[in-house]
Chain A
Amino acid sequence: MARVGVFVCHCGVNIAAKVDVAKVAEEVGKLPEVAFARDYKFMCSSPGQNLVKEAIKEHGLNRVVVAACSPKMHLPTFQKAIAAEGLNPYLISMANIREQCSWVTEDPEEATAKALDLVTRQVKRVAHQDPLEDIDVELNKTAIVVGGGIAGIQAALDIADGDRKVVLVEKSPSLGGKMAQLDETFPTLDCSQCILTPKMVEAAKHPNIEIRVNSEVATLDGYVGNFDVTIRRRATCVDEERCIGCGLCQEKCPVKNVPDEFNAGLANRPAIAIPFPQAVPAVPVIDRERCLKLTKDKCGACAKVCPADAIDYSDEGSEETVKAGAIVVATGYREMDPAVYTEYGGGTLPDVITGLQFERLVSSTGPTGGHLKRPSDGKEPKTVVFTQCVGSRDPSRGHEYCSGICCMYTAKHAMLYRHHVPDGKAYVSYIDIRSPGKSYEQFVRRAIEEEDVRYLRGRVGRIMRLKSGKYRVFTEDSLVGRPVAIDADMVVLASAVEPQAGAVELAQTLGIAYDADGFYSEAHPKLKPVETATAGVFLAGACQGPKDIPASVQQGSAAASKVLSLFARDTLKKSPQVAKVDPTACTGCLTCSYVCHYSAIEQSEFAGRQVAEVVAGKCQGCGACAATCKNKAIALAQFSDDEVFEEMLR
């Protein structure tokens, strides 16, 4: 006989303001299954949990229902609490009377009635729950880090320093990510490459790290501790093992007009090229669309000059499967294409450039060797307008969110410009200045007060190219309340931070959730900022939302610590939510095996006939087999027909 204890939480006023919690406890106490019921201000607090423990002892409870927030939030908390009292942790159920009742119901009476109904259902359900034991599974202690920018490098280094193997997968030909393209960094103005490249080299030389550049994750199978990851390498036509990185091939390549991605399209490069001088690995890649040998079967110059015989035109790429226990996703962001902003030229005005392009123009490794020259005529710009929020905070054509980093990098850009052109005039058009990081506000004040950058509060309405070659920027100074027109030599657009191209497809491959903007969703916005809802897959850097370098590094380290704490165990506890076949009812049709996504159902024998059998270690507990079985021979633990019916029927 079930002796259920019911604990109704006020959640401060979150539930109690709408739901008459005392009445719910009183009414539910009248159910025959309920041996004890009460309400309390914060059930999840330590005294709240003690209350549950005490009641189990005092009233001999063998089942517990907690009516509080979503089970996604606190079910594990209460499972631990009842387990401490010797009760099986699966003999508990939660009634979601906050997210799915008090917060979504207008009328207090209706909310109370609904809460009572929800709690009653869980009482009926919990009475049908069985005690379950977690399943022990083996754990592979190799981690895969997807993305070789600063967040991914940091995560890989931290995991590798913890003496675990890492496979670092990077889509482009080199590690480094966006940070490699930056000139100096806020708020210290230290050189980006000077702090990044040693880390790139460290990652490449680390005995525990294997690098896979030009590669992407193609498929993912398995589950936490036991992932099978297929990594697909694109055809590069250069043998990474043989290449000595001399660069002769790119010197001799006759095709010189390929837009240079590293220089944000401001320069051209050959069809075979090392992406940038400090690239790791320093191995060139052939652009298959532009190479004369591959497109017209002419030339072959690179193969002729290569002293290491590293060029292989027949390369078709390759695939390998890696076994891993955890995955860190650190795929970063891309800069939004300002094409929709036609009033700013939509990318057609040569001297209206993006923030990333400006970084390349002032960088000593950039197309101008660090001398600030505007793209159209190579002249030094004497007046520059920096325009913030291009695509950010603009739900009509761009994104609703704030890109977070642009206020700071615009202040930096304006300062860098003033350092390059001391007699030049820098204007910044902004909506608000957002500078909440450590030493950030001081940095912006320095730009305004010491570096004579002129900040104008207002959004740029239009940029017009004049016959003189200048650009008339129409904006306003809303603090003074007047329109402003500035004749500038160059305009820099702080284009929004966007999820990478293909971010959604990768999320689908990895089975992780993403938000409406395409950024990956963390398991909890405050308490689980690096976990995803999929166990064993963690997030780092701007793929989760716009982030600057310090925040990306922090999250990279945080994800690594999560991986290392996972790897500190020798076996993993797996949820007992698995399917089980009743061989006496099974007819052996094996329809269940066709719907199983994990190949967890095998053919077996019972009493001399064919039956299905579930391999518990492989089963992920989706229940597709149970819903498909014609004879109801399959039961899914925690979601058996009985349990679902009891919850839905009253």
Chain B
Amino acid sequence: MELLLRKPHGKAEQLKYMEHPGRRLGKPHGSYVIDLADLRKVVVLCPLCNSKFDWKRHRFRKEKEFPYVVSKCDACKTTDSYCSMYIAEESYKKVRSTAEDRRAEAKAFWKNRLRRQ
């Protein structure tokens, strides 16, 4: 039995209200995602919507070190624990450092330095 009393919002509800609702109802999924891609925003898609976005054509980079992201799908608006994240190519190095990048940078510095000695 549930009491019909006004309850205070918990942290989960507060978080839910903070988040942007995403695509406006009535706007086609595809054009909303293309709008995001044109704006060079991060695009997040759930497993069902993934195949509908040609990320290479839009010069995006798929996040592979974190194969799954918890987020709301930009197309179908479903919060999914198995979303894929696509970051604009020109922004990727500004916001993500991969193990490969870190390895290459350290190797480049120390290889040159030790060769000179």
Please determine whether chains A and B interact with each other in the same assembly: no
